[in-house]
């Protein structure tokens, strides 16, 4: 039974690869996408931000907005550069010991901008469907409206990516974490952008 299953699996893979060989290789690709901010929404929210002398409210999140250029060396390996941007917003109000406001609210605006060289490996490449994994490593710039800025290494691991589409236009769904930290006390992302989607154009 195992031999039959392996034979069918190998035969299917060979047929898919053979079909893909008949499709011209598009070397260039642009991707525009959006990813979740699960880590940020858990780390920055109203109930989790209560301090003795301030009250934070009206939280807002942009999600991860990313743009990537990718060059396909062949049907298996491609290299690229990706820019990822996110924003986290809230209002901070000074309060007394009874949680009553003692002054006007101040808008807090935090932004993260990451620049990540990327590598992607296709494990299945057909006319309509491509399955892949990938890795990216680069630099995160964290800044806010108080003119503070910090730098930290950033990583993105694509555990599984699915790209669907025939011709120049396609769509992608990716699963995998984005991580950025300098040390245990300076964590900017940890398990962020676990799910992301993108629209792709290749030529």
- Cα–Cα nearest to 87, from 112, 116, 57: 112
pLDDT of residue 73: 97
Residues 173 and 162 sit within 8 Å (Cβ to Cβ): yes
pLDDT of residue 184: 84
pLDDT of residue 21: 53
Residues 176 and 192 sit within 8 Å (Cβ to Cβ): no
pTM, two decimals, is 0.83
Tokens representing 46? 């109203």
- Cα–Cα nearest to 159, from 141, 136, 143, 183: 136
pLDDT of residue 54: 84
Rounded Cα distance between 168 and 27, Å, is 11
| 59: exposed, middle or buried (Cβ count in 10 Å: 0-12, 13-18, 19+) | middle
Which of the residues in the chain have pLDDT under 50? 2, 4-6, 8-9, 12-13, 15-16, 18-20
For residue 101, what is the DSSP state? B
Tokens representing 111? 């932004």
pLDDT of residue 47: 57
Rounded Cα distance between 158 and 177, Å, is 7
Residues 179 and 154 sit within 8 Å (Cβ to Cβ): yes
Could you count the other beta carbons within 10 Å of the beta carbon of residue 27? 13
Contacts of 41-49 spanning 24+ positions with Cβ under 8 A: 44/88, 44/90, 49/90
Run of H or E including 133: strand 129-144
Residues 95 and 102 sit within 8 Å (Cβ to Cβ): yes
């Amino acid at each position: 039974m195992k031999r039959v299953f392996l034979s069918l699996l190998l035969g299917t893979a060979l047929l898919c690869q053979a079909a893909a060989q008949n499709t011209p290789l598009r070397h260039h690709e642009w991707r525009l996408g959006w990813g979740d901010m699960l880590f940020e929404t858990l780390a920055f929210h109203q109930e989790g931000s209560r301090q003795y002398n301030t009250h934070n409210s009206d939280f807002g999140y942009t999600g991860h907005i990313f743009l990537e250029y990718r060059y396909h060396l062949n049907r298996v390996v491609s290299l690229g550069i990706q820019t990822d941007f996110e924003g986290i917003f809230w209002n901070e109000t000074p309060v007394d010991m009874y949680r009553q406001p003692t002054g006007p609210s101040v808008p807090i605006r935090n932004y993260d901008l990451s620049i990540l060289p990327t590598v992607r490996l296709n494990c299945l490449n057909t006319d309509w469907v491509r399955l892949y994994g990938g890795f990216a490593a680069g630099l995160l710039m964290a800044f806010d409206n108080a003119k503070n800025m910090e730098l930290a290494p950033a990583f993105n691991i694509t555990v599984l990516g699915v790209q669907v589409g025939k011709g120049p236009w396609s769509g992608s769904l990716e699963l995998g974490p984005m991580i950025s930290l300098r040390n245990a006390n300076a964590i900017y992302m940890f398990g962020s952008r676990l799910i992301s989607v993108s629209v792709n154009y290749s030529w």
